[in-house]
Structure 1
Amino acid sequence: MSRQRNPWLLPVSILAALLLGLLPLPEMLQALRPYWLALVLVYWLIEAPERAGLGLAFLTGLCADLAFGSILGEQALRLVIMAFIVGRFRAQLRFFPLSQQALAIGGLLLNDRVVAAVLHLMLDEPQLPASFWWSPLTGMLLWPPVFVLLDRFRLGGRG
């Protein structure tokens, strides 16, 4: 059964996304850094909802908060909100062509930026520069290759 073929793939992909988020980038590219954890988590929420859900989103977000040194619970909340939206619209997202999925993912990532901005405003934390609003566009453009790569690994190269 293909679901059980690679049980290690979900945790390894989450760990890889976490490491990609920690990878240093030149200052001018920082604003374009995609939210790798969100991209990988959304893939698993769409393709394997029996293995990924709100709990995984919360735990992944807490790990990210600790690893990135952000406000404890910020990324956890952002990923749980994203997981809830994806879970609610999973049936529609699953059957969109990849290009339409990418647009939907761009909307999700833009919503994530709004949630982050509101959280920072409510907690009187410094706001990210305006250039960081470009990150959802990068994530949207990277969605097709991320989806195809994870799908190939999940299906064992027969997809």
Structure 2
Amino acid sequence: MSRTRHAWVLPASVLLALLLALLPLPLVVQPLRPYWLALVLAYWVIEEPERVGLGFVFIVGLVADLGFGGLLGEQALRLVIMAFILQRFRARLRFFPLSQQALAMGGLLVNDRIVASAIHLAIGEPVLPWAYWWAPLLGMLLWPPTFVLLDSLRLGRRP
């Protein structure tokens, strides 16, 4: 019953993550923008692996690529790599306390920056400035509140 009653949370959270990524920010804080889509999809891969797998993550990544106007397939590849690692270690990660999950997410977000830099380097695009490497730290700090909020919405409890 809770699955059908709260089925709206998955598409709404992914849509909100896409909109947050498209939200214009001043140039000063632009490098600190967390990768909201990765945080939201990481939650769903960990908590609902039968609904959110690599195919779903790939499609959402392609939608993000189309919406952001970047290299087609770049975000899809980055998100699939992250989802694959999460699926591989899901059984262990689910039982970590939120602080350790946040550290793991920080590592995944740094890995995402490395993959993005490698892609940009391979196709000859300029690599992001060093200030953009602070965003994984902010994403790591945002993991616990994001997890608690999505968990309470998914399970129907108050945050």
Which bracket does the TM-score occupy, shorter chain normalised?
over 0.9
Indicate the residue corresponding to 2:99 in structure 1.
99
Q: For residue 122 of structure 2, what is the amino acid of its counterpart?
A: M
Deviation per CA, 1:65-94: give whole Å up to 9, x if none: 011111000000000000000000000110
Q: Distance in 1 between matches of 2:85 and 2:50?
A: 16
Indicate the residue corresponding to 1:47 in structure 2.
47
Q: For residue 95 of structure 2, what is the amino acid of its counterpart?
A: F
Indicate the residue corresponding to 1:34 in structure 2.
34
Indicate the residue corresponding to 1:135 in structure 2.
135
Indicate the residue corresponding to 2:87 in structure 1.
87
Structure 2's unaligned 5+ residue stretches are none
TM-score (norm 1): 0.97
Q: Distance in 1 between matches of 2:55 and 2:104?
A: 22
Deviation at 1:3, TM superposition (A): 2.6
Deviation at 1:158, TM superposition (A): 6.0
Q: For residue 41 of structure 2, what is the amino acid of its counterpart?
A: L
TM-score (norm 2): 0.97
SS at match of 2:136: helix
Indicate the residue corresponding to 1:115 in structure 2.
115
Q: Distance in 2 between matches of 1:97 and 1:4?
A: 28
Indicate the residue corresponding to 2:149 in structure 1.
149
Q: Distance in 2 between matches of 1:44 and 1:94?
A: 12
Q: Distance in 2 between matches of 1:42 and 1:91?
A: 14
Q: Distance in 1 between matches of 2:83 and 2:7?
A: 21
User: RMSD of the alignment, in Å?
Assistant: 1.0
Deviation at 1:54, TM superposition (A): 0.2
Indicate the residue corresponding to 1:63 in structure 2.
63
SS at match of 1:59: helix
Indicate the residue corresponding to 1:5 in structure 2.
5
Identical columns (%): 70
Q: Distance in 2 between matches of 1:4 and 1:110?
A: 35
Runs of 4+ residues deviating >2 angstroms: 1-5
Deviation per CA, 1:86-111: give whole Å up to 9, x if none: 00000011000000000000000000
Number of matched pairs? 159
Deviation at 1:2, TM superposition (A): 2.5
Q: Distance in 2 between matches of 1:100 and 1:71?
A: 33
